[in-house]
Amino acid sequence: MSIRIGIMGYGNIGRAVECAAKQSDDLEVVAVFTRRDPSTVSILTPGAKVYKADDAEKMADLIDVMIMCGGSATDLPVQTPALAKTFCIVDSFDTHARIPEHFANVDSAAKAAGTLAAISVGWDPGLFSIERMYSSAILPLGKDYTFWGRGVSQGHSDAIRRVEGVLDARQYTVPVPEAVDAVRSGSNPDLTTRQKHTRECFVVAKDGADKARIEKEIKEMPNYFADYDTTVTFITMEELKRDHNGIPHGGRVIRTGATGWDNENKAIIEYSLKLDSNPEFTSSVLVAYARAVYRLNKEGKTGCVTVLDVPPAYLSPKSGEELRKTLL
């Protein structure tokens, strides 16, 4: 029998969960929950049904794992602890600074209910965290570097859209090639924010808007752009739709460390992702962890976990015996 998946929230990530689940025979999306009127929401999976978000709690018998596809700012801090009272859960909470608080809230709810919840699943936090974990444990005398991009940052694109006179925008985060090369050389450079990434903004301005003012406002925006070398390119709506329609992303985690009695030898570990679709890949990770959460909970594990707590083999539908034979 398949593991029955519920999707809470139906945006880019929710839709991509359907795509990811379709690739595995042992997973089945059975329900999508939305705050919109369900009759207006059209989903991809034949046989799955759309329900009101508020009705989710009544459906404990229908769903094995609920995948939370809301936002980290306001949705997940409330929804994940609430629904952990009823369901095993995977969420993609990605506000790094608030993870300890979110973990504690979800852990107490899930422990009381006998459910298991994996939080902060995705690629960063998520797969990148796993790589930082392994490589720092294996090379304790070393240094971690994380580069993001080239890829679209939704948050930065939104920030540009809030500038007066902007119709639409797309922001790419771009790692500085010289910085990546310096890290790979093993020289352990100290890099400032500005030295690591640049930001490329493609902006559609309203007719007659003051482009010089828009560019200045973007480049001086604190937190988002002021600390970076930022370029602003004005394009037409047609160009935006033609050339910037996708949501690609990627990045790399590099650890450079030393081995040997006198730390005389270098070792470099590099992990990189190159993704045509950021939400689709993120959802592929969420879905693999839904399998793991289901299996761990069946074995009696409850409470909150992160990717650091889940043995790799639990992500695979294959048996331990098959994995050892074919993949180890």
Q: Which residues are near a second copy by CB under 8 A?
A: 16, 18-20, 22-24, 44, 96, 99-100, 103, 120, 125, 127, 129-134, 136-141, 184, 259-261, 263, 265-277, 280-281, 283-285, 288, 291, 306-313, 315-317, 320-321, 323-325, 327-328
Assign 205 to helix, strand or coil.
Answer: strand
Please identify, using beta-carbon distances, which residue of 134 and 234 lies nearer to a second copy.
134
Q: How far is the CB of 209 from a second copy (least distance, A)?
A: 34
Q: How far is the CB of 33 from a second copy (least distance, A)?
A: 20
d(C-alpha 120, C-alpha 101), whole Å: 12
What are phi and psi for residue 298, nearest 5 degrees?
-60, -30
Q: Cα separations (Å) of 321 from 25, 26, 190, 312, 318? A: 19, 18, 45, 14, 8
Q: How far is the CB of 164 from a second copy (least distance, A)?
A: 35
Q: How far is the CB of 6 from a second copy (least distance, A)?
A: 19
d(C-alpha 103, C-alpha 303), whole Å: 9
Please identify, using beta-carbon distances, which residue of 88 and 203 lies nearer to a second copy.
88
> What angle do helix axes 278-298 and 12-22 make, rounded to 10 degrees?
60
With CA atoms as reference, report the closest residue to 287 among 10, 115, 73, 92.
92
Is the sign of the CA dihedral 113, 289, 31, 39 positive or negative? positive
Please identify, using beta-carbon distances, which residue of 94 and 217 lies nearer to a second copy.
94
Q: How far is the CB of 184 from a second copy (least distance, A)?
A: 8
Please identify, using beta-carbon distances, which residue of 96 and 162 lies nearer to a second copy.
96
d(C-alpha 73, C-alpha 239), whole Å: 31
d(C-alpha 42, C-alpha 40), whole Å: 7
Q: How far is the CB of 312 from a second copy (least distance, A)?
A: 5
Q: How far is the CB of 145 from a second copy (least distance, A)?
A: 13
Residues 6+ apart with CB under 8 A from 134: 269
d(C-alpha 80, C-alpha 89), whole Å: 7
Please identify, using beta-carbon distances, which residue of 5 and 56 lies nearer to a second copy.
5
Q: How far is the CB of 87 from a second copy (least distance, A)?
A: 22
With CA atoms as reference, report the closest residue to 310 among 157, 126, 143, 111.
126
Please identify, using beta-carbon distances, which residue of 139 and 205 lies nearer to a second copy.
139
Please identify, using beta-carbon distances, which residue of 104 and 226 lies nearer to a second copy.
104
With CA atoms as reference, report the closest residue to 106 among 73, 128, 79.
79
Q: How far is the CB of 289 from a second copy (least distance, A)?
A: 9
Pairing of β 265-275 and β 249-259: antiparallel
Assign 89 to helix, strand or coil.
Answer: strand
Please identify, using beta-carbon distances, which residue of 151 and 230 lies nearer to a second copy.
151
Please identify, using beta-carbon distances, which residue of 140 and 222 lies nearer to a second copy.
140
